[in-house]
């Protein structure tokens, strides 16, 4: 399909000109999720069929232009052309947009649902078009239309009428996320660690066999991307009411980023992270960083750039040397009931590593099939109560509206996996735990308004997710947030930690929400 760039300055005008009332809208307390768009260009199916000509312009007809328009047809309404009807042959609820051609002549046409009594006039803004400069624009027609048998009708209104394509965007409706009530919050809710003037990001939490809480994160930073990130740690011995001073685990010559932490079945702590030189990108590089960058020679880059784990056999007092892994993920590997460690991460595609010696060595055991429609990265995995493995993935789709989490499952301990499929959960990235009652808890950041941290539960080992009762753990002032991770405390309550700004004029810090689960439905 041909695609033309919509002139940015036209967009606000376009939305004002073409806004149409909602059709079959849901209750005010509902929210919607939008799926992958369906494009339609088969205008030869328009009726009455004898009023549509091919590559022939005559008054009283519609011209389906191929020769002068390339591989895809352009439906052109000639003067005095009659109304024509198009059947999209779709079922369900959709947002509908019409792609038209802006030329130097005033453009527009009428469109309606066959069941409507009146046409909606879609005017094509053309103030930037000339006789030699034409471009395509998408015109919003209707939102939340149920198309079970509905057809579209087009009418010429005496202006240049060009229809290039139709876009049908599937819409699913669900209840808005429920905020936690005051009586559902525990005493450990609030700031865990703040470094004034510095930036903290990408934490993970583990509750050890001794009952301690350990949180690792990338701290003492200038910004989201910078040269100075360090792998740091705080711990709590009173279920998160108070926290220790910060301890630095890693401070390599590069930027030490996303940190995971687990305790193995032998009581070993394993910390994971990756190093980055992304701060050297020309669009990001700051003058203050150039001297540091110049000191990082080729040998240092080769030595330290990559994905890593370190082990501690004395509860984090001392740490062994770094060990390379072929994959990385924000929250690192997980321990399995059989004693293995399994690491689902991004590397050469989405791959799975395992360790059978308590994290000392790692080997790749699988690749997870990924369709081109899902831009999978930053996964996390959980072992369900029945031994099934469920992995979920950030979906960095170019279209923000399409960034629904991906999911894959393994029934054989991680050796084979289903192709990643898209869920209806919008957010990134995921963290999963299996609760004491067998339910799965998923937490994720919500980086579009309303900003914040979200949670969702599954009662059937990840086969379905209860989005009808999605929970808002906290709101946030902007979209620099997320990477939440949870642990269940001895009393059954949950501590979910994450990074975001405590105050709008501050840099992000490490925060937590201590909360009680809703009763199993």
* Residue 109 shares a structural domain with residue 197: no
In a domain, 3, yes or no: no
* Residue 139 shares a structural domain with residue 235: no
Domain boundary residue, one of 175, 206, 236: 175
* Residue 147 shares a structural domain with residue 248: no
Give per-residue pLDDT as tens, 300-314: 999 999 999 999 999
* Residue 307 shares a structural domain with residue 167: no
User: Could you give the CA distance from residue 192 to residue 215 in angstroms, rounded to a whole number?
Assistant: 9
Q: What is the CATH number of the domain that holds 109?
A: 2.60.120.260
Domain boundary residue, one of 175, 208, 243: 175
User: Could you give the CA distance from residue 61 to residue 67 in angstroms, rounded to a whole number?
Assistant: 17
In a domain, 477, yes or no: yes
Which pLDDT score is estimated for 73?
Answer: 76
What is the number of structural domains in the chain? Answer: 2
* Residue 357 shares a structural domain with residue 464: yes
Give per-residue pLDDT as tens, 84-139: 999 999 988 999 999 998 888 899 999 999 999 999 999 998 888 888 888 889 99
The pairing of beta strand 471-475 with beta strand 178-179: parallel
For tokens 């040998």, name the residue: 299
HEC profile of 366-407: EECCCCCCCCEEEEEEEECCCCCEEEEEEECCCCHHHCEEEE
Least confident of 167-181, 373-387, 480-494: 167-181
Q: In terms of C-beta density within 10 A (0-12 exposed, 13-18 middle, 19 or more buried), how is residue 53 classed? A: middle
In a domain, 4, yes or no: no
Q: Kindly report the average pLDDT of the chain as a whole number.
A: 90
In a domain, 269, yes or no: yes
In a domain, 208, yes or no: yes
In a domain, 434, yes or no: yes
Domain boundary residue, one of 175, 207, 232: 175
Residue 158 predicted with pLDDT over 60 = yes
Q: Can you give the pTM of this predicted structure?
A: 0.70
The string of DSSP codes covering 201-234 is EEEEEEE-TTS-EEEEEEEEESSSS-S--EEEEE
Give per-residue pLDDT as tens, 430-461: 999 999 999 999 999 999 888 999 999 999 99
* Residue 283 shares a structural domain with residue 206: yes
Give per-residue pLDDT as tens, 219-228: 999 999 999 9
* Residue 342 shares a structural domain with residue 443: yes
* Residue 167 shares a structural domain with residue 183: no
């Amino acid at each position: 399909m041909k695609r033309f760039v919509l002139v940015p300055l036209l967009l606000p005008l376009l939305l004002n000109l073409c806004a149409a009332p909602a059709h079959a809208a849901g209750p005010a307390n509902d929210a919607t999720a939008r799926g992958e768009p369906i494009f339609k260009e088969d205008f030869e199916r328009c009726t009455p069929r004898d009023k549509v000509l091919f590559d022939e312009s005559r008054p009283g007809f519609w011209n389906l232009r191929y020769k002068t328009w390339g591989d895809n047809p352009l439906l052109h309404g000639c003067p005095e052309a009659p109304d024509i009807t198009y059947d999209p042959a779709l079922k369900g609820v959709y947002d509908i947009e019409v792609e038209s051609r802006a030329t130097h002549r005033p453009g527009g046409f009428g469109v309606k649902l066959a069941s409507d009594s009146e046409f909606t006039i879609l005017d094509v803004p053309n103030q930037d078009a000339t006789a030699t400069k034409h471009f395509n624009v998408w015109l919003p027609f209707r939102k939340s239309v149920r198309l079970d048998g509905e057809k579209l009708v087009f009418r010429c209104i005496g202006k240049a009428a060009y229809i290039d394509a139709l876009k049908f965007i599937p819409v699913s409706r669900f209840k808005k996320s429920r905020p936690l009530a005051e009586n559902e919050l525990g005493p450990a809710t609030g700031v865990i660690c703040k470094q004034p003037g510095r930036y903290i990001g990408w934490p993970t939490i583990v509750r050890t066999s001794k009952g301690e809480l350990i949180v690792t994160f990338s701290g003492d930073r200038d910004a989201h991307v910078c040269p100075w990130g360090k792998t740091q740690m705080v711990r709590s011995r009173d279920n998160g009411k108070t926290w220790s001073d910060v301890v630095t685990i890693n401070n390599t010559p590069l930027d030490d980023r996303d940190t995971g932490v687990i305790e193995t079945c032998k009581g070993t702590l394993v910390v994971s992270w990756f190093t980055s030189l992304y701060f050297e990108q020309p669009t990001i590089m700051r003058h203050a960083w150039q001297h540091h960058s110049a000191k990082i020679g080729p040998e240092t880059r080769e030595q330290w750039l990559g994905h890593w784990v370190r082990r501690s056999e004395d509860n984090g007092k001392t740490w062994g040397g770094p060990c390379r892994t072929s994959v990385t993920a924000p929250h690192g590997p997980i321990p399995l009931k059989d004693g293995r460690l399994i690491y689902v991460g991004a590397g050469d595609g989405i791959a799975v590593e395992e360790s059978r010696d308590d994290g000392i060595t790692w080997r790749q055991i699988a690749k997870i099939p990924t369709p081109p429609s899902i831009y999978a990265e930053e996964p996390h995995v959980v072992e369900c109560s029945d031994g099934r493995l469920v992995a979920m993935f950030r979906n960095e789709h170019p279209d923000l509206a399409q960034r629904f989490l991906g999911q894959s499952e393994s029934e054989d301990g991680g050796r084979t996996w289903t192709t990643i499929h898209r869920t209806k959960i919008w957010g990134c990235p995921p963290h999963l735990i299996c609760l004491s009652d067998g339910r799965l808890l998923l937490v994720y950041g919500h980086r579009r308004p309303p900003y914040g941290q979200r949670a969702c539960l599954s009662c059937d080992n990840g086969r379905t997710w209860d989005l009808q009762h999605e929970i808002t753990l906290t709101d946030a002032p902007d979209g620099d947030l997320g990477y939440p991770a949870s642990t269940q405390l001895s009393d059954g309550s949950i501590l979910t930690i994450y990074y975001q700004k405590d105050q709008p004029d501050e840099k992000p810090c490490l925060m937590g929400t201590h909360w009680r689960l809703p009763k199993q439905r």
